[in-house]
Chains A and B, each alone.
Chain A
Amino acid sequence: MEVATLLPLAVTLIMSPLLLGVINRTKAMVGGRKGPPLLQPYYDLIKLLGKGAVYSRTTTWVFRAGPIVSLAGCVLAATLVPLGGCESLIKFHGDLILLAYLLGLGRLCTVLAALDTGSPFEGMGASREAMFSALAESAFLLGLAALARNTGATSLTQMHAALADGAWSVSGLTLALVTVALLVVFLAENSRIPVDDPNTHLELTMIHEVMVLDHGGPDFAFILYGASIKLWVLGALIINLVLAPSAGESVADLGVALAGMLILAVLVGLIESTMARLRMPRVPQLLVGATALSGLALVLEFGGIGK
């Protein structure tokens, strides 16, 4: 095993909370505030890891297992994603399916843990999360199918490599459509605006935040860390697509990709500062729209026009 294959995983594990810091900082700056330090998410994690725990009387072992399994799923998902010219740690044909389903497992555990508390609010969030992710999954997999059809590859690392040789100038249309679809999935799966507002203060309107109301201490740290890894993993897919590596220069490529991730975080911050959260019934429409974009990309590929 080469050291280079460990790089994307290591970078993910170390740098993922930074993205949240960048997003929050951007939002603060657009809003004319100074904002929390860039490393605030790390401080939060350390603080939470140092705390005790409070468990509800209603809960069972499912509540305690939820954060653990969901974090484990996210970490393993991170081993499947290449970054900036570095191959992923684990790569095989069809790894994109495992990626989607590992994230799905993580989500299932969070949802179950939420239902375990018996709180009506958490049930509400759980129901919404389950619904929206069910729709996001088809947008995601169809988008990846279009990408597979375009690059002729069935593993993420191969796709990444195939994009290197100027794929954008050849089939920019398909790639642009898939990028937008993946961006919507990225925002929806990570509970960002316009799907969910991570800073909302009314439980009735929350999705992800309301599900984790009862978690505290190390459990909450696991959840936050898992969520930031998920943010990174899905973001890395987009960056891999947009900033295709130039063949050979693996260190430079990694640098470019990391810069790209930070720019993506700034972009998310800008989106959150300029857009309002959609009404709940409109969210499925957005996700179906993303599926339609993936479908359009596929149709273009089938028509042989994306090239």
Chain B
Amino acid sequence: MEWLLVAVAVLVASGLMAVVMTSFPRLSTFWGAVGGGAGCAIGLFAVVRVLWSGKVESLRWGWDVPYGSFSLELDPLSGFFAIPILVLSGLAAIYGSRYVAVFWDRKSVGELWFFFNLLVAGMLIVVLARNGMLFLVAWEVMSLAAFFLITFEHEKQEVRDAGKTFLIATHLGTAFLLTMFVLLGAESGSLDFADFANSPSTVSADLLFLLALVGFGTKAGLMPLHVWLPEAYPVAPSYVSAVMSGAMSKLGIYGLLRVLMFLSDVQPWWGWLLIGAGAISGILGILSALGQSDLKRLLAYSSIENIGIISMGMGLGVLGTSSQNPVLMVLGFAGALFHVINHAIFKGLLFLGAGVVFQATETCDLDRLGGLLKRMPWTGSAILIGSVAIAGLPPLNGFASEFVLYRACFNREGLLAALSTSIPCVAVIGSLALIGGLAAFAFVRVFGIAFLGEPRTPHAAGARSPNDRMSLPILLLAAGCIAIGLLSPLVFEKILPVVAQITHYELAMIESPAARASVPLSVVARVGCALFLLAGGLALVRRWLLSGREVAVSGTWGCGYSRSTPRIQYTASSFAQPAIGFFAPFFRTYTKLRAPRGLFPQSASLATENTDLSTDLIYHPLFGAVGRLLGKLRWLQQGRVHMYVLYVGCTILALMIWYVSMELPPADASMSGTVVERSP
């Protein structure tokens, strides 16, 4: 535990150093990146050491904030989420040390490093915190650091807009969390997690669950709470997006799991809700991804899809818990957790890859790319591995976790059991199948359009391989995709202690339900190895067949069109068109057409843009209405300081009168009173 504090200290101190050195960008980068990397390495060492020993380490200091205590603990669940945070952030720091070079001459990179390291430290404290107050403080530090990272290039209008959306979304989420913690702590009068778990809550568990779902779901990006993701991820520097998507959004999942542990009375409809929200996020997420032509925006939507898959797994787990069905419970939670790791790896990889593409070509628009694999063979191949993995295809890691979820459904205790279990299972199977097919479609499109074929613009043609410091993390993550795919039974086994903790079961008791998935997984892993061997064998056969024969190189067969140019290639929009047309009700497609005119048309153009349905249907009308309503209060805005002080004074007076006149039991009254006063 002390080592973890050292890691946090190193992160914060190096961030401060980077700020101090900010007028010397190289030095600042050096301090920031080395500190970030070192902090992550130390933290990783500490986490692995504790998890390996199988013990739970904790630490508790007093803290003179009301109801706060500096109470940290490293248990399997925390450790499980800490590992992807630390690994991904460490690799991102290495990558970032080179990525930020473009900002050296125009921006101060000191603040970038400060907030990046602060973000990592915040995330680490969030998973370790065992006190509601500490949790919320760390949560806010994390969110605000993320906000400053998103708005790093704040001279651009779209960046400022994205930052605003993020700030509103994250604070609305936090408001729900604050309410939830207050309600949780209302009974025992303490915000320590240990007390939540022990004290029987008087507040309805349903309400707490809903509050947690909205609060944490906003951070994770469950639809329709996802609006900030597709705005924020594209504008942040790529390595920050990688950390935010791979690690930070997972903390929403962590929070939800942690709260589920406090709630004793688990209801089946929670599971149905999680599965429903997951299926909607998954299907609509990947569909929206298909409609995007901006690579990073596409990846943001695909994050929503993966959160949906994770949520479906949790839903199965909750359903299993409520119906005392250990197989469904264990496999559901295990599949969700497995997918958490996998998503961190391949989404981190793809975001880092998107950064490479952006720096090499100065665009993320798929329709302006092409032929990049030839220009950056290693990075490109790694991105191909990431794309296959995220499409959930064997033998890579994405398939392993989806297989566990499928297996949770295809089961005597799942699909074949009573209707209340088997109907959700069918929903999961159907959604996963559709998501799988569409994800393959979406990522074939990404890789095929951006990396294969001929470059569509001079920018793409002039792309070069990235610096080693940028390609090394990508290659490592790609290796991770293959390794986890082939060693999936081992990884699955390491997840079981976490599942045991979430479900309050002994490890030995969940081993036999878990074997339902681990035994098939070992066969799947062997088939994966066989696939590599067979493909290698076939390659040798072909080499042998072709040896001594003519192997010619010529142009692509153009079906009779001999003067083809790169611009004749299928574009990203046309590639996605069958799906966009078919699923038209889920899109708002805006088309800008300049049709060819006259006998000798000079030029014509067609541009399409797919906007977010929930933004159009829910948020714009909602915020428009709120805006109009608040517009009526505009007379309060006098622009004079006296008036504002008067308002503050009136508020304090009103609160005091309200507080004094309340007749509540002492613990409760002081509790809610204090927190409400502190919240503004």
Contact = CB atoms under 8 A, between A and B. Distances in A.
A141 B433 contact: yes
A152 B441 contact: no
Contact of B554 (A56, A61, A68, A222): A56
A270 to B, nearest CB: 29
A140 B553 contact: no
A282 B434 CA distance: 19
A127 B534 CA distance: 28
A134 B570 contact: no
A248 interface: no
Nearest to B406: A97
A62 B445 CA distance: 14
Interface stretch (A8-16, A46-54, A169-177): A46-54
A59 B423 CA distance: 46
Nearest to A53: B551
A118 B441 CA distance: 17
Given A93-B520, A108-B440, A119-B556, A127 B373 contact: no
Query: Which secondary structure dominates where chain B touches chain A?
Result: helix
B555 A115 contact: no
Nearest to B576: A127
Contact of B441 (A59, A62, A131, A298): A131
A57 to B, nearest CB: 6
A118 B627 CA distance: 49
A149 B429 CA distance: 13
A75 B534 contact: yes
A69 B394 CA distance: 11
Contacts of A40: none
A142 interface: yes
A218 interface: yes
B449 interface: yes
Given A98-B394, A127-B577, A218 B542 contact: yes
B553 A108 contact: no
Interface string B250-267: 000000000000000000
B444 interface: yes
Given A124-B570, A137-B433, A56 B556 contact: yes
Contacts of B556: 56-59, 117-119, 214
Contacts of A232: none
Contact of A142 (B407, B411, B429, B549): B429
A284 B434 CA distance: 13
Interface in A131-180: 131, 133-138, 140-142, 145, 148-149, 152, 154
Given A137-B436, A152-B416, A98 B524 contact: yes
A43 interface: no
A108 B443 CA distance: 10
A59 B452 CA distance: 7
Interface stretch (B339-347, B384-392, B643-651, B658-666): B384-392
B569 A76 contact: no
Interface stretch (A18-26, A99-107, A191-199, A239-247): A99-107
Given A123-B574, A123-B575, A218-B542, A203 B559 contact: yes
Given A112-B448, A134-B434, A302-B419, A213 B552 contact: no
A118 B520 contact: no
B530 interface: yes
Contacts of B423: 302
Contacts of A68: 535, 538-539, 542
A109 to B, nearest CB: 9
B590 interface: no
Contact of B444 (A71, A90, A126): A126
Contacts of B430: 138, 141-142, 145
A100 B391 CA distance: 13
A65 interface: yes
Contacts, number: 254
A26 B523 CA distance: 40
B422 interface: yes
A96 interface: yes
B305 interface: no
Contacts of B449: 115
Query: Which secondary structure dominates where chain A touches chain B?
Result: helix
A35 interface: no
Contacts of B374: 60
A105 B532 CA distance: 13
Contacts of B370: 118
B327 to A, nearest CB: 11
A219 B542 contact: yes
A101 B453 contact: no
Nearest to B540: A68
Contact of A60 (B399, B436, B452, B577): B452
A26 to B, nearest CB: 30
A209 B554 CA distance: 20
Interface string B440-465: 11001101110011100000000000
A145 B410 contact: yes
A73 interface: yes
A145 B415 contact: yes
B54 to A, nearest CB: 30
A95 B576 CA distance: 31
Contact of A222 (B399, B406, B538): B538
Given A75-B534, A116-B452, A134-B440, A148 B555 contact: no
Given A53-B551, A131-B579, A137-B434, A123 B570 contact: yes
A130 B444 contact: yes
B679 to A, nearest CB: 46
Contacts of A280: 578
Nearest to A134: B437
A145 B539 CA distance: 36
Contacts of A57: 553-556
A217 interface: yes
B527 interface: yes
Interface in B542-595: 542, 545-546, 549-559, 564, 566, 568-570, 574-579, 581-582
Contact of A97 (B391, B407, B454): B407
B569 A120 contact: yes
A69 B437 CA distance: 18
Given A118-B453, A138-B437, A141-B429, 9 more contacts: A55-B552, A76-B534, A104-B436, A115-B453, A126-B444, A127-B578, A142-B429, A142-B433, A154-B411
Q: Closest 9 A-B residue pairs measured CB to CB? A: A123-B570, A134-B437, A115-B448, A118-B453, A52-B549, A131-B578, A52-B550, A141-B433, A72-B534
Interface of A: 49, 51-62, 65, 68-69, 71-73, 75-76, 79, 90, 92-98, 100-102, 104-105, 107-108, 111-112, 115-124, 126-128, 130-131, 133-138, 140-142, 145, 148-149, 152, 154, 203, 213-214, 217-219, 222, 280-281, 284, 298, 302
26 contacts: A49-B545, A54-B553, A57-B553, A61-B381, A65-B539, A75-B534, A76-B530, A90-B523, A92-B519, A97-B407, A104-B436, A104-B440, A105-B531, A107-B440, A118-B556, A121-B559, A126-B444, A126-B575, A130-B444, A131-B579, A134-B441, A136-B437, A137-B437, A214-B556, A217-B546, A217-B549
